[in-house]
Structure 1
């Protein structure tokens, strides 16, 4: 009798195995700890998870999954590494100049101004906004809500301490954004760091908020969320835009990052462009 020949099977490639393991990691983080990354852009999330494996010196994503399932103390570190807290003060100065020249005069008509900085990372843009609001005479009427889903990033933001090596770039950005003094008026330099004036935090509330799964945070006249949506899938981007729409007051302003576009999102109809190139929009529902 002829021996049976086992059917040939094609083993998955290393890349396919990584995809399977990343999916299992996402499921574990959601089921075990309540952090849902399923709506993130797959290629970006996979890249960050693989970088996390190298950073934490584990053998593979499967081992990382096993550890986060059993070690609660490891989760904050994982969340901090998966977030992308990359920013600078007055990043894209033209955006801040536009806010100063065209948005602030409208905000000045409100007795109380609520501003939501979503995905605040290490706080550079929060402090940038606070400085310009002070120079416009609006800061004392403002409440700025600076949120992020990483407690580690929020802690750094609250410190307001940044490397002094970045001071020159920040100063150039500040002047290009229409700053009226010198940036050094707002910080104290010591050793290799610059510490921003504590008065810039007087009207700022730092809080944990996850755009993926949390609801409306506040009613705001201005929402800034710059270069966060680029890490989300199309469906999640649309959900977050709906969240921003529901959080904005009538005619409120939305400022996104220059790498983001709402052109093809179903929620785009809810926003009227003020300056599409600078990604500045207004709540269209409040303009009818």
Structure 2
């Protein structure tokens, strides 16, 4: 309770927040200006509390001269929660409603935008392998944060999570055993090479970077909820441009295209699981 009281006592004006975000942008190329301001303010309060700083006044100058502090701020501002087969019913819906369409292509490109530490990316690879599609698929996994991308490339997780992940896998329609795709290594559970070699991890900033390929399926789940409406529209336009005609697009279960000006560029395939399809040959 005391920590919360101290944190809330810190005054974060829009001007001071903008100064910090501007310096962060110039130092890292990461643009948080159009992230939802309430979320940014909450995370800045947490950061100030952790660093023992009374306010934002000195932070821009500190960021200019302290790369480690800059990294800690980026890690605080970005969101990293994920797990294998997170929201199992979503993965079941992808398996049943999307993968049969992807099977008609000779090659399949999939983009996980905002992949965090990669658990959902490996979940997709497992699911593709179970329906004999992984052999012709390439999964591109991107995030703004290079630290979480390094973790994702390692493809490992704590054994303490294995039972929970196994339940998720079964609820998602898994056809075999999760142990078919991972093994214990030095006290961690590590994903097998048959999955890892079909995945490419890259840094990508949805606020600034352009499309880099053409995709049959794009997943950006629980990412745009932290964007303001302008950045949500920018990101959705980028995804639309990156999809093949009739390609699929999925967002998080608490996200919506309802107030997004790009909503007419997609048709809803599964409203419960937020799966959409690009409108054929629409020019914007």
TM-score in same-fold range (> 0.5):
yes
Q: 1:165 aligns with which of 160, 171, 174?
A: 160
Q: Which runs of 4+ in 1 moved over 6 A?
A: none
SS in 1 for 2:138: strand
* Residue 204 of structure 2 is aligned to residue 213 of structure 1: no
The residue aligned with 1:4 is: none
SS in 2 for 1:62: coil
Q: 2:117 aligns with which of 119, 122, 136?
A: 122
Once the 2 structures are TM-superposed, how far is the Cα of residue 103 of structure 1 from its aligned partner? 0.6
* Residue 227 of structure 2 is aligned to residue 236 of structure 1: no
Contact 2:213/2:242 (<8 A) preserved: yes
1:36-75 matches, within 5 Å, as 36-75=31-70
In structure 1, distance between residues paired with 2:242 and 2:52: 41
Contact 1:262/1:268 (<8 A) preserved: yes
Unaligned runs of 5+ in 2: 1-7
* Residue 163 of structure 2 is aligned to residue 180 of structure 1: no
Q: 1:273 aligns with which of 268, 274, 279?
A: 268
Unaligned runs of 5+ in 1: 1-12
Larger radius of gyration: 1
* Aligned CA-pair RMSD: 1.9
In structure 2, distance between residues paired with 1:82 and 1:285: 37
Once the 2 structures are TM-superposed, how far is the Cα of residue 182 of structure 1 from its aligned partner? 1.3
Write out per-residue CA displacement over residues 227-252 of structure 1, whole angstroms, 9 at most, x where no aligned residue: 00000001110111000000000100
In structure 2, distance between residues paired with 1:222 and 1:82: 27
Once the 2 structures are TM-superposed, how far is the Cα of residue 196 of structure 1 from its aligned partner? 1.4
SS in 1 for 2:190: strand
Once the 2 structures are TM-superposed, how far is the Cα of residue 43 of structure 1 from its aligned partner? 0.4
The residue aligned with 2:220 is: 225
